[in-house]
């Protein structure tokens, strides 16, 4: 880099991992690849921010805590977080930060974002009626089922009716398609871009972003009976 030139900002993150088990070789593979890219970009003179961390607000955390004999999922999460951090230390991973979604800084940001979106009408209250797969921790549509079962988990989804909050995802379809068309390198490789484009062309549905009656996860501001859906918070 010549003097006077601004350093290019480069951000890279691994997925933030579920803590229902200790890291396996697949997690190590992903994290080492991200580390290689981060180190290369630093050597090339970029201003790099490399993140990894843990996605802790899943109901899988509660189940795993119970099966390991923990009464308090938070204690289990703290115990697991040390194990995960230790593995990245052993592998000399050069991450700049390690985020845990049960941390106060994350909780605060999620609640602020939620309120901001609610104020703008991007999140709105509604009623969800349909099928829910506990394994996916997600609603599943009738046409995704194979022989009446979730193709991923082989279990029958539950029929549920819930009052909760929805994110107006459908409103973003055209803007996303336009953005991807105008910026061909936005998603690489091209096969993945085409996959996303055809997914968008089929249309987007608004997505429920809160869970009523859940006790683990980030509280919905002003609605203590609801928690933010783990996929939305992470």
Is 20 or 95 the residue whose CB approaches Zn ion more closely? 20
Is 125 or 135 the residue whose CB approaches Zn ion more closely? 135
Cβ burial 156-183 (10 Å sphere, 16+ → b, else e): ebeeeebebbbbeeeeeeeebeeebeee
User: Does residue 151 belong to the site contacting Zn ion (CB under 5 A)?
Assistant: no
Return the residue of 80, 133, 220, 234 that touches Zn ion, per CB under 5 A: 133
Closest contact distance (angstroms) between CB of 151 and Zn ion is 8
User: Does residue 150 belong to the site contacting Zn ion (CB under 5 A)?
Assistant: yes
Span from 3-11, 50-58, 127-135, 217-225 in contact with Zn ion (CB under 5 A) = 127-135
Closest contact distance (angstroms) between CB of 162 and Zn ion is 18
Span from 81-89, 92-100, 143-151, 214-222 in contact with Zn ion (CB under 5 A) = 143-151
Is 6 or 159 the residue whose CB approaches Zn ion more closely? 159
Span from 14-22, 125-133, 166-174, 191-199 in contact with Zn ion (CB under 5 A) = 125-133
Q: End-to-end distance of the chain based on CA atoms, in angstroms?
A: 35
Under 8 Å between Cβ of 216 and 122:
no
Cα–Cα distance for residue pair 45/35, rounded to 1 Å: 15
Closest contact distance (angstroms) between CB of 135 and Zn ion is 4
CA nearest neighbour of 73 among 232, 230, 231, 187: 230
Span from 2-10, 12-20, 110-118, 153-161 in contact with Zn ion (CB under 5 A) = 153-161
User: Does residue 66 belong to the site contacting Zn ion (CB under 5 A)?
Assistant: no
User: Does residue 131 belong to the site contacting Zn ion (CB under 5 A)?
Assistant: no
Is 52 or 61 the residue whose CB approaches Zn ion more closely? 61
Span from 114-122, 124-132, 134-142, 216-224 in contact with Zn ion (CB under 5 A) = 134-142
Farthest CA pair distance, the chain: 64
Closest contact distance (angstroms) between CB of 190 and Zn ion is 29
User: Does residue 135 belong to the site contacting Zn ion (CB under 5 A)?
Assistant: yes
| Interface with Zn ion (CB under 5 A) | 133, 135-136, 150, 152-153
């Amino acid at each position: 880099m010549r003097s006077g030139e601004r350093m290019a900002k480069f951000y890279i993150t691994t997925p933030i991992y579920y803590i229902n088990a200790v890291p396996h070789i697949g997690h190590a593979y992903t994290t080492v690849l991200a580390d290689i890219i981060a180190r290369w970009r630093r050597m090339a003179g970029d201003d790099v921010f490399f993140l990894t961390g843990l996605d802790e607000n899943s109901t899988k955390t509660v189940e795993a805590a119970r099966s390991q004999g923990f009464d308090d999922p938070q204690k289990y999460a703290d115990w697991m977080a040390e194990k995960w951090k230790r593995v990245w230390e052993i592998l000399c991973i050069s991450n700049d930060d390690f985020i845990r979604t049960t941390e106060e800084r994350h909780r605060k940001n999620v609640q602020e974002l939620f309120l901001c979106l609610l104020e703008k009408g991007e999140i709105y209250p509604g009623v969800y009626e349909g099928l829910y797969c506990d394994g996916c921790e997600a609603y599943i549509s009738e046409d995704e089922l194979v022989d009446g079962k979730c193709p991923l988990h082989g279990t029958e989804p539950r029929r549920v009716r819930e009052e909760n909050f929805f994110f107006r995802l459908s409103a973003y379809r055209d803007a996303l398609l336009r953005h991807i068309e105008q910026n061909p390198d936005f998603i690489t490789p091209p096969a993945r871009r085409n996959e996303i484009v055809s997914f968008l062309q089929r249309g987007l549905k608004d997505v429920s972003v809160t869970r009523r009656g859940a006790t683990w996860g980030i509280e919905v501001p002003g609605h203590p009976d609801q928690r933010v859906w783990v996929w939305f918070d992470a």
